[in-house]
Structure 1
Amino acid sequence: MVAVAEKVQRRLTMQTVEIAPGTTAIRSLDWDRDRFDIEFGLQNGTTYNSFLIQGEQTALVDTSHEKFRQLYLDTLAGLIDPTQLNYLIVSHTEPDHSGLVKDILALAPQITVVGSKVAIQFLKDWLHQPFQSRIVKNGDRLDLGNEHVLEFVIAPNLHWPDTIFTFDAKTQTLYTCDAFGMHYCDDHTFDEDLDLIEEDYKYYYDCLMGPNARSVLSALKRMKELPEIEIIATGHGPLLHHNVPELVGRYRQWSQEQAKAETTVAVFYLSDYGFSDRLSQSIAHGITKSGVAVEMMDLRSADPQEVKELVSIASGLVIGTPPTTGDAATTTQTAIGTILAATNAKQSFGVFESGAEDSESAYQLVNKFRDLGLNPAFPPILVKEAPHEETYHLCEEAGTDLGQWLTRDRTIKQIKALDSDLEKALGRLSSGLYILTTKKGNISSAMFASWVAQASFKPLGISVAVSKDRAIESLLHVGDRFVLNVLEEGNYQGLMKHFLKRFPPGSDRFAGVKTYPATNGSPILGDALAYMECEVKSRMDCGDHWTIYATVSVGRVSKPDALTAVHHRKIGNHY
């Protein structure tokens, strides 16, 4: 039986569903949220999923976001007297899943909190109160009675260092928290319509799991040791039941592709300090867009030998400056020392400062790397207050710049190596010259484009190919708006030269360029021959490019008799 609360003004609702014998999903539906965690845009809201398993004893798997406090606690009380709860399983301590742990402890002081060693330590540092706890390792079991035997799978870095999965042998349900989830909010509890959710599933993987591909593969290997899995009870979005083999297989394929990358960047951060985890995830996402693998490591829980090994295989290093005082200072400063000792002069590096007043100056750390002969890939990113959307976009751009810098030689080599008749024939496809401009919130961006074509009459639509490692790519998701500026034959060199140059992360792409705003807010270039206002309707994965399909609503030509500038290539393996 499904019970859905009446929608309130903020569109926060609750849903309870019996998903298996003795097992209830408690889903907090956040219908209108358009930003999440590391500030990746959301098209369809999100959910925070919690689960109640009732045998002879009762376990609650995760809680919810604090914004749902009263809704969640009232819903839980309608299912069970909190004083009858025996265990609270904390899959990981990220606040969107553990935001109500303190409330549960207040209602159920007798409860035993179950988690990984790192999770229990994080909770002790955070809660500052005594509580009963049980640390579990990989393969440990907890018998709730009535055949509900829970087996724990250690799955660190998915996407926090303290993550565990929980498998219930009776219902063949695997509780995975962030892994295999997606930010998608609707009343459907399960994945009935794969076509409806697969874009959000892939986007979620790219943003949160892709930077931890090797950790994903390790978790998948441990999952193979479990009996057959019927349900994957995720922490966000619909639960997986109808397409479990298919969607698990996609994780495996995507992660294997990431792990095979020739170049790796090590990203070091602190999961519970300032904004370090969020900034690091944005940088890591930018790196992976360039086809470079990422290995993320929490400085607080990092083993010195693992730090050495990771630094030894990395072509690039990104470090969030740690605190110089407090409980974590000694551990994190030791880890920084280990990183510095293991570097070599061929590596590139980047440094960000996550906002606390007592953090070591980013410039001091930059100077230490410079003294060792390493090359900075981007200027230090200094964040002294709560990050804004522009901050996360800056971090993503910095990561992409680092990835492109590390792969530049390989890219040039590949271009020179491909010179067959096929590439020469492909190069004879001519195309026009355009500048695509967009503005989303306070972020504006632009790119020089040539792979543009009309795609439909009804509705009027165009297609644009956008390389996956373009900074503007993250501003061109379904629902986003842009302007396509058409360049004029014989009068395009100035604009082409300006928009083809490399821009430092976060810089103004339109400095010195005459523009005026379109009705959709995007910049129109004053020297363009024509412009069209567009809205993204769909995206298709085309290998190293996204093909964007957009409808056109407004357009104008400034010189009716002028012609569009045309681009001719000699070879088709690069622009």
Structure 2
Amino acid sequence: MGKIDWELKKFHGSEYSTHKGSSYNSYLIQEAKTVLIDTVWLPYAKEFVDNLEAEVGLANIDFVVQNHAEIDHSGALPELMRRRPDLPIYCTANGVKSIRGHYHQNWDFRIVKTGDSVDIGNGKSLVFVEAPMLHWPDTMFTYLAGEALLFSNDAFGHHYASELLFNDFVDQDELYDECIKYYANILTPFSALVAQKIQEVVALNLPLEIIAPSHGIIWRKDPLQIVTKYAQWAADYQENRITILYDSMWDGTRKIAEAMAHGITDAAPSTEVRVHNAAKTDKNDIITDVFRSKAILVGSPTINKGILSAVAGIMEEIKGLRFKNKKAAVFGCYGWSGEGNAVLARLLEESGFALAAEGFKALWEPDTETLQKAYEYGEAFARKV
């Protein structure tokens, strides 16, 4: 009963790019009781509730399960409750706080915790599993016993618009790219909790035939494949990849970045190298490459004893994501004082990266000799990591 949003290009304000659009997945269960699982984003609230009325009749809904209160999932609650103010809302204790904080209403909240269940008739029940910080404190999963179906909300989701609905119908490369991007940019800081929650759910030994997240397609063919991927991504993930990110004022730092990339490739042909200008490349795509990399090189010229704003901005994002088990080094041009490398090195260490080498620094515009040294630096860096 959700909404496919083909037009969406930015999410979380302008913090997350959605090149492939997205969806806000809401689910309607019709057994002896009729249950609504989550709603949709606020701009589509009236459309959503009108569709509910046409499909099932609002008077026939018995209760709502709100797995997570962020407004892309709860945004239609005010419109729904305006028309059905008596509807019970099942959520966690933190869910009550969050929903009240968003909408300032004292609706009929029914607080649930892990292991609680509700009989919905015909031999089926809903079982609730708290999943705090996947990715908000209020998040929970809802398991439909009797159908082996898990409503996982944001977990195992991805921003991907498709009318095809199911994972076995869509382009697998596109699907994988959106899944790892979603994990890298949103769930990385909570990897320890992701691993713990996966172990807890597996220990329940519940049959699982479908995973239905709140963004993107539904996992029905080998649904545990995405659980396996999450377990891998939560384990300080890295591939044989090195990412170089930089910004440049007069192309000197760019030339150094490209020379280093050539050096890495020649020294380690099997290592994939990605080079991004932080001022021109989508930041979420850069972060995804950083997540997939075993090491990164970060470059900026020195400006006002610091670094360029595009690099400072993405370093702030990287710091918050708390990547682990990754190495790094820094580089850049300077003309006056050259503090940029020291600033970058400090930011990388604060972000959890191990510095694998002294930084590479070039005075003024790099000449042929300097670019040869940058090439050799790239060769040496590839051998160290």
Would you say same fold, with TM above 0.5? yes
Offset of residue 129 of structure 1: 3.2
For the residues of structure 1 that align with 2:300 and 2:34, how far apart are their CA atoms?
66
User: Pairwise mapping of residues 156-175 of structure 1 onto structure 2 (< 5 A)?
Assistant: 156-175=132-151
Residue 178 of structure 2: aligned partner? 200
Higher helix share: 2
Offset of residue 209 of structure 1: 1.2
Residue 124 of structure 1: aligned partner? 100
Higher strand share: 1
User: Pairwise mapping of residues 432-443 of structure 1 onto structure 2 (< 5 A)?
Assistant: 436=254
User: Pairwise mapping of residues 293-308 of structure 1 onto structure 2 (< 5 A)?
Assistant: none
Q: Between Structure 1 and Structure 2, how many residues are aligned?
A: 298
For the residues of structure 2 that align with 1:64 and 1:564, how far apart are their CA atoms?
55
Offset of residue 469 of structure 1: 12
Residue 183 of structure 1: aligned partner? 159
Is the 1:467–1:473 Cα contact (8 Å) retained in structure 2?
A: no
For the residues of structure 2 that align with 1:102 and 1:64, how far apart are their CA atoms?
11
**Structure 1 32/109 Cα, relative in aligned 2: closer, same or farther at 3 Å?**
same
Residue 210 of structure 1: aligned partner? 188
Q: Which amino acid aligns with 1:162?
A: D
Offset of residue 127 of structure 1: 3.1
1:27 is the counterpart of 2:2: yes
Deviations, residues 358-410 of structure 1 (Å, cap 9, x unaligned): xxxxxxxxxxxxxxxxxxxxxxxxxxxxxxxxxxxxxxx9xxxxxxxxxxxxx
For the residues of structure 2 that align with 1:502 and 1:205, how far apart are their CA atoms?
35
Aligned-residue RMSD, C-alpha: 3.9
- Higher Cα Rg: structure 1 or 2? 1
Identify which of structures 1 and 2 has the higher relative contact order when contacts are C-alpha pairs closer than 8 Å and 6+ apart.
Answer: 2
TM-score, normalised relative to structure 1: 0.46
User: Pairwise mapping of residues 376-525 of structure 1 onto structure 2 (< 5 A)?
Assistant: 436=254, 449-452=259-262, 465-466=273-274, 474-475=282-283, 477=285, 498=301, 503-504=306-307, 506=309
Residue 219 of structure 1: aligned partner? 197
1:85 is the counterpart of 2:61: yes
For the residues of structure 1 that align with 2:272 and 2:306, how far apart are their CA atoms?
22
Q: Which amino acid aligns with 1:253?
A: Q
Q: Which amino acid aligns with 1:36?
A: F
Q: 1:108 aligns with which of 52, 70, 84?
A: 84
- Counting aligned pairs with the same residue, the percent is 25
Gaps of 5+ in 1: 1-25, 261-289, 292-396, 398-432, 438-445, 456-462, 479-495, 510-543, 545-561
Is the 2:16–2:284 Cα contact (8 Å) retained in structure 1?
A: no
Offset of residue 86 of structure 1: 1.1
For the residues of structure 2 that align with 1:170 and 1:73, how far apart are their CA atoms?
27
SS at match of 1:167: strand
TM-score, normalised relative to structure 2: 0.67
Deviations, residues 85-108 of structure 1 (Å, cap 9, x unaligned): 111111111011001111111122
**Structure 1 507/129 Cα, relative in aligned 2: closer, same or farther at 3 Å?**
closer
Gaps of 5+ in 2: 266-270, 287-298, 313-352, 354-367
Offset of residue 255 of structure 1: 0.7
SS at match of 2:127: strand
**Structure 1 134/475 Cα, relative in aligned 2: closer, same or farther at 3 Å?**
closer
Is the 1:148–1:170 Cα contact (8 Å) retained in structure 2?
A: yes
For the residues of structure 2 that align with 1:159 and 1:141, how far apart are their CA atoms?
22
Q: 1:36 aligns with which of 11, 17, 22?
A: 11
Is the 2:26–2:37 Cα contact (8 Å) retained in structure 1?
A: yes
